[in-house]
Amino acid sequence: MTDWKDKVENMVYSGRIKVPYLWNVGKTGSRFLIAIRDNKEIWGTRCPGCGRVYVPPVKTCGECFVPTTEWVKVSDTGVLESFTVVHYSYEMQPRKAPLAYGLIKLDGADGAILHLIGDTDFAKLKTGMKVKAVFAEERVGSIADIKHFTPA
Amino acid sequence: MSKIAIVGVGQTTCTRSKIDTFEEMVFEAASKALADAGAEIGDIDNVVTVSNDFWDGRTISSMAVQEAAGSWGKDVSTVEGDGTFGALYGMMRILSGSFDTTLVVSHMKGSESIMNLITNAMFDPIYQRGMGIDATSAAALQARSYMTMSGATEEDFARVSVKNHGNAKNNPYAQLPMKITVGDVMASRKIAEPLKLLDCSPIGDGAAAVVLSNKKGLKRFRKEPVWIKGVAHCSDSFTLGYRDLAKSRALKEAAQKAYKMAGIKKPLKDLDVAELYDAYSYMELMWYEGLGFAPEGKGYELIRENATGMKGELPVNPSGGVVSSHPVFVAGMVRLIEATLQVRGEAGKRQVKGAKTALAHGINGPCGQAHCVYVVGA
Amino acid sequence: MGKRVAIVGYGQTYQRSSRKDVNGVELINEAVVTALADAELTIRDIDAIVIGNMDHFEGINYVDMWSAEGSGAVMKPVIKVCTGGTTGTTVAMCAYYHVASGMFNKVLAIGWEKNSESDTTGAIITAFHPVWERPTLGGAVAGLAIEASKYMHNYGATERDGARVAVRERLHALNNPYAHLHQEWMKGIPPEKLVDLIVGSEQNAMLAYPLRMSDMCPRTDGAAAVIFAAEGSAEKIAPVPAWVHATANRHNFVYAGDVDMDRNTTIAEASKAVFKKAGVKEPLKEIDVCELYLPYSYAGLKWIEDIGFCAYGEGPRLLWDGVTDMDGELPINPSGGVMSSNAIGATALIRVGEAALQVMGKAGPRQVKGGNVNLALATGFGGCYWGDVMLLGKKKPA
């Protein structure tokens, strides 16, 4: 028995969802981004419960569920806790592959920050190495005002 | 705890790309689950569907499958998360006393979108998304954190891939059955170091369904019940830098609760088979530790000793696991279905002999942020 | 049989057009903290969390995961449910089932939305079928306009009838400090006169006949959280818990063309199921107050007929007789309803929370019947005529 489906051409309807968004950073995050933009300084918030310093800052500590109360300036250098070198490219990536991401625990912070790693030979990356923030020349108040981190 | 039974299971094959629409896939899975139970849609009191708006490219993605899920005129709801969470909600709805039976269906067409763009949208739009991070690059960061903590090697990850792709050869529903070697995995294309192509799951198309019932509802079904002995779920924090990526404390928490309900004291001994959500090869080793199969940092010992192979002490992923077929959101429900088939002794060539107690596991969010653990038994 | 369940705490943010001072996670946190304070509980008392919203509305995938640090879900069980506009009631129902199942004792339900951050209509259009509907259908307003004009045709209702609903919602909102729209100029003007002013106003733009600006809901930023607890705990937490007497939902449509534009059949069927479970025979007499998800004015005429408060076509009479006003026999939406605040993911949960406040006697200036509320009905609407219904009561159900 022949199935009529075998003879039907497969139609494909291609589309794209495009909805514009304006994500509000909030006062806490705004203060963090402004300090980077205006002074090339990185600040975090400290939880009064567990004492953790979060970078990027949080308004509420997720562990203790209490508002953070104190702003702490942290170093622009830190330890590379983990990294990956990515070998594929998609349009959401700001750079062409290969590109590298790192989780960086800045000196004075407890939580690590996710960022790009650049200006270096990726083959030489090692966990535990010291890395330093490289600030963008033109800063607009976004996380990309830190261009990337590079071995210190 | 033996209050809720799995009385019917159904799954489509997992393939790279299906021509079938969401509706057709859901109808196939639901019909198979009903047929397996020896039931008709009229035997179902309420329905839970599982889908995700980003993956489906549609707000209120569940709207597309209401007819196919047979929910007309019934109470129905939708979980956006892995299928294991959907089944859990289906179970709660019965335990509430409002219903005796629930049909839970889950669908995914990974072929219709681009995984990297979709999973990029699961990261925070202000601090993370603009960097282009996605499920795979985030997983790579976790894999390296885990290597640093445990001393596991890339070869250990490769061993998981070899085992699971090999097991998939016994599973007619799997997408990538392959006889490969550790050397093949190590030589495969670098994706996001330390992950290589054969460490990563193939995002594909598939649907799955389960029929759940309480004792009262059992008379509507022909199938021997497989009981949910224990189930629990738990989430870790979201931000990658704020949680210890190398250790899965949320899985540990969920597993302990589920074990307590099921009376499991020594999981490696008490369980006969486990189906885990290994979206990337390394995950299986981490989940061994979270599930208490191995001490923290020692998961690799199990794979090196082949303790989780088909003939090992606790076979893990006889189906080939998620690294062999990954319809997102469906994959966890497939683990539950596979665990059920094992307990029934209906797992065909992938059957673990004499399996009586099986574990199924699902994850949600980046790098296994949330977990859902089931223990099922006869 | 499962556990009996009550609402023991409720918190909401002030509903505003834009909350630029907080991001989404922080907004969620505000509602959660407020609900916990209301119940005098801490996050450690909460056994599980249920949250929902529509992914494309904020451009956030996996909201349950993303919000964990603000919602309190760190190292807790959390589930996301979503059914469109009904999401808020769907979240409430899911939290109810969590507790009723006996698996969790105290469960937090969260709904939220920052409409100011996206193009709401652009996002709503993605709810339609990509191949068959999206190229031709235009968002929410047009579909509702079809329903309204059909109702007018079938029952001889007029634009003045629609406006009467809008007037009620906006007058009620003046009693609710949390509401988004406060049209202070309306204060002290009789409803009939307000209807004349609205219908005759040239500034009141026609959007899609017969719907004018005044017939629609606003776009709002806001969040809400409701705490459900099991019998045994509920009585200890709240002096007057709002017991869940029954809940049900229906959704019988896949394509927009399937929608029965004559009647809202899903709200009707779900209401019937709820009344049957709870033993309600004469809804108008037995129910003391309603918080209904009425996204536009004509729904306030037609859907109250579908719920069973009056016969088909009699909705306008109930409105003009003042039956649904604050001091009427069946006050509807003392909060000002959806037409006064619409943070979509939160909206239906706010209906449940507001209904609970009425039962608990904690509704302040918007409290009806001097706090003597025995039964309160809440509904959710959305997702191509998805209909959720929950009945709350002062008496612990049998």
Q: Strand, helix or coil at C288?
A: coil
Mean pLDDT computed over C168-184 = 97
Mean pLDDT computed over C118-144 = 81
Tens digit of each residue's pLDDT (9 = 90 or more) over C285-331: 999 999 999 999 999 999 999 999 999 999 999 999 999 999 999 99
pLDDT for A17: 85
Q: Quick check: C138 pLDDT over 70?
A: no
Does the distance separating the beta carbons of B238 and A62 come in below 8 Å?
yes
Q: According to DSSP H, which parts of B57-209 are helical?
A: 83-95, 115-120, 135-150, 154-168, 182-187
Q: What is the C-alpha separation between C15 and C342, in angstroms, rounded?
A: 8
Q: What is the C-alpha separation between C31 and C34, in angstroms, rounded?
A: 5
Decide: C180 and C16 in contact? Cβ < 8 Å. yes
CA distances (Å), B304 to each of B153, B319, C170, in order?
A: 11, 20, 69
With a pLDDT cut of 90, the percent of chain A lying above it is 88
Q: Quick check: C99 pLDDT over 90?
A: yes
Across the interface, of B128, B148, B238, the residue whose CB is closest to A127 is B148
Write phi, then psi, for B190 (nearest 5 degrees).
Answer: -70, 130
Q: What is the mean pLDDT of each run of 10 residues along chain B (378 residues)?
A: 92 95 96 98 98 92 91 96 98 98 97 96 96 98 98 98 98 98 98 98 97 98 97 97 96 98 98 98 98 98 98 98 98 98 98 98 98 97
Q: According to DSSP H, which parts of chain C are helical?
A: 24-39, 55-58, 63-66, 68-71, 87-100, 120-125, 139-155, 159-173, 191-200, 234-237, 265-278, 283-286, 299-307, 315-320, 344-360
Across the interface, of C21, C74, C122, the residue whose CB is closest to A27 is C21
Q: Which of B24, B45, B78 to mutate to test the interface with C (most CBs of C within 10 A)?
A: B78
pLDDT for C134: 81
The per-residue DSSP string of B288-329 comes to HHHTTSS-TT-HHHHHHTTTTSTTSSS-B-TT-HHHH-B-TT
Does B375 reach chain A within 8 Å, measured CB to CB? no
Instruction: Select from C237, C272, C224 the least CA-distant residue to C95.
Output: C224
Q: Quick check: C359 pLDDT over 70?
A: yes
**Chain C residues touching chain A at CB-CB below 8 Å:** 18-24, 26, 29, 42-43, 56, 58-59, 68-70, 72, 74, 114, 116-119, 122-123, 126, 130-131, 134
Q: Indicate yes or no: pTM above 0.95.
A: yes
Does the distance separating the beta carbons of B190 and A103 come in below 8 Å?
no
How many residues are given for chain C?
A: 398
Strands (E), A11-145: 42-46, 53-54, 70-74, 77-86, 99-106, 113-117, 130-135
Q: Which of A58, A63, A86 to mutate to test the interface with B (most CBs of B within 10 A)?
A: A86
The per-residue DSSP string of B171-197 comes to -TT-S------HHHHHHSPEEETTEEG
Which chain C residue shows the shortest CA-CA distance from A17? C126
Q: How many CB atoms within 10 Å of residue B251?
A: 27
Q: Which of residues 116-145 of B touch A (CB under 8 A)?
A: 116-117, 120, 125-134, 136-137, 140-145
Mean pLDDT computed over A32-50 = 98
With a pLDDT cut of 90, the percent of chain C lying above it is 88
Does A29 reach chain B within 8 Å, measured CB to CB? yes
Return the H-helix or E-strand segment holding B235.
strand B226-235
C248 to chain B nearest CA, in Å?
6
Residues near C110 by Cβ (< 8 Å), separated by ≥ 6?
C28, C31, C32, C49, C50, C51, C52, C67, C71, C91, C223, C224, C225, C349
Does the distance separating the beta carbons of B239 and A111 come in below 8 Å?
yes
Does the distance separating the beta carbons of A86 and B137 come in below 8 Å?
yes
Strands (E), C183-220: 206-208, 211-212
Residues near A89 by Cβ (< 8 Å), separated by ≥ 6?
A96, A97
CA distances (Å), C368 to each of C290, C329, C331, C365, C372, in order?
A: 10, 10, 7, 9, 8
Instruction: Select from B321, B261, B255, B265 the least CA-distant residue to B290.
Output: B255
Q: Quick check: A60 pLDDT over 70?
A: yes
User: C56 contacts in A (CB within 8 Å)?
Assistant: 17, 19
Does the distance separating the beta carbons of A19 and C23 come in below 8 Å?
no
Q: How many CB atoms within 10 Å of residue C187?
A: 9
Decide: C324 and C331 in contact? Cβ < 8 Å. yes
Domain residue spans of chain B: 4-114+203-220
Lowest-pLDDT range of B142-156, B273-287, C39-53, C107-121: C107-121
pLDDT for C141: 85
Across the interface, of B59, B97, B122, the residue whose CB is closest to C1 is B97
Q: In which residue are the tokens 């597309």 written?
A: B64
Q: Which CATH superfamily does the domain covering B4-114+203-220 fall into?
A: Thiolase/Chalcone synthase (3.40.47.10)
C368 burial class (0-12, 13-18, 19+ CB within 10 angstroms)? buried
Q: What is the C-alpha separation between C198 and C192, in angstroms, rounded?
A: 10
Write phi, then psi, for C174 (nearest 5 degrees).
Answer: -65, -20
User: B192 contacts in A (CB within 8 Å)?
Assistant: 84-88
Q: How many CB atoms within 10 Å of residue B4?
A: 25
Across the interface, of A13, A17, A63, the residue whose CB is closest to C126 is A17
**Four-residue CA torsion sign, C280, C283, C288, C290:** positive
Return the H-helix or E-strand segment holding B32.
helix B22-37
Mean pLDDT of chain C: 95
Does the distance separating the beta carbons of C77 and B232 come in below 8 Å?
yes
ipTM: 0.97
Is the preceding omega at residue C210 within 30 degrees of 0, hence cis? yes
Structure tokens at C116: 């100011």
Across the interface, of C56, C74, C131, the residue whose CB is closest to A13 is C131
Does the distance separating the beta carbons of B194 and A84 come in below 8 Å?
yes
Does C248 reach chain B within 8 Å, measured CB to CB? yes
Does the distance separating the beta carbons of C69 and A58 come in below 8 Å?
yes
Under DSSP, the state recorded for B364 is: E
Does A111 reach chain B within 8 Å, measured CB to CB? yes
Q: Quick check: A1 pLDDT over 80?
A: no
Does the distance separating the beta carbons of B127 and A92 come in below 8 Å?
no
Instruction: Select from C377, C379, C353, C289 the least CA-distant residue to C8.
Output: C353
Q: Quick check: C12 pLDDT over 70?
A: yes
Residues near C315 by Cβ (< 8 Å), separated by ≥ 6?
C157, C161, C300, C301, C302, C304, C305
Amino acid at the residue B273: V
User: A91 contacts in B (CB within 8 Å)?
Assistant: 117
Does the distance separating the beta carbons of A24 and C117 come in below 8 Å?
yes
Does A23 reach chain C within 8 Å, measured CB to CB? yes
Q: What is the C-alpha separation between B199 and B182, in angstroms, rounded?
A: 11
Does the distance separating the beta carbons of A18 and C70 come in below 8 Å?
no
Does the distance separating the beta carbons of C58 and A20 come in below 8 Å?
no
Q: Which of C4, C82, C98, C105 to mutate to test the interface with B (most CBs of B within 10 A)?
A: C82
Going by pLDDT thresholds of 50, 70 and 90, the confidence category of residue C258 is: confident
pLDDT for B25: 97
Going by pLDDT thresholds of 50, 70 and 90, the confidence category of residue C90 is: very high
Amino acid at the residue B85: F
Across the interface, of A13, A21, A61, the residue whose CB is closest to C130 is A13
User: C131 contacts in A (CB within 8 Å)?
Assistant: 13
User: A114 contacts in B (CB within 8 Å)?
Assistant: 127-128, 131, 133, 141, 240-241
**What structural domains and CATH numbers belong to chain C?**
1-393 (3.40.47.10)
pLDDT for C131: 83
Q: How many CB atoms within 10 Å of residue A12?
A: 8
pLDDT for C130: 84
Mean pLDDT of chain A: 96
Does the distance separating the beta carbons of A144 and B130 come in below 8 Å?
yes
- Residue C321, CA atoms < 13 Å, CB-side half-sphere: 11
Amino acid at the residue B349: K
